[in-house]
Amino acid sequence: MEKGFHRPLPLTVEMLEGMCSPRVFREAERYAKSTNVSDKMRVGSALSAKFHGSRGVYMTRLDLSERQFNFECTCPLASSRRPCKHVIALGLTWLYGPEDFSDLELTLVRLSRLTKAEIITLLRKVATRVPEILPLLDKAKLD
Please give the residue ranges that form the binding site for Zn ion (CB under 5 A).
73, 75, 78, 84, 86
Question: For Zn ion, which is the closer residue by CB, 43 or 78?
Answer: 78
Residue 34 identity (one-letter amino acid):
S
Q: Which residues pair with 73 in a beta bridge?
A: 60
CB of 91 to Zn ion, least distance (A): 12
Question: For Zn ion, which is the closer residue by CB, 61 or 86?
Answer: 86
CB of 84 to Zn ion, least distance (A): 3
Question: For Zn ion, which is the closer residue by CB, 78 or 95?
Answer: 78
Residue 89 identity (one-letter amino acid):
A
CB of 141 to Zn ion, least distance (A): 33
- Kind and range of the H or E element at 126? helix 116-129
- Kind and range of the H or E element at 24? helix 22-32
- Could you tell me which residues come within 8 angstroms of residue 104 by beta carbon, excluding any fewer than 6 positions away? 41, 42, 43, 44
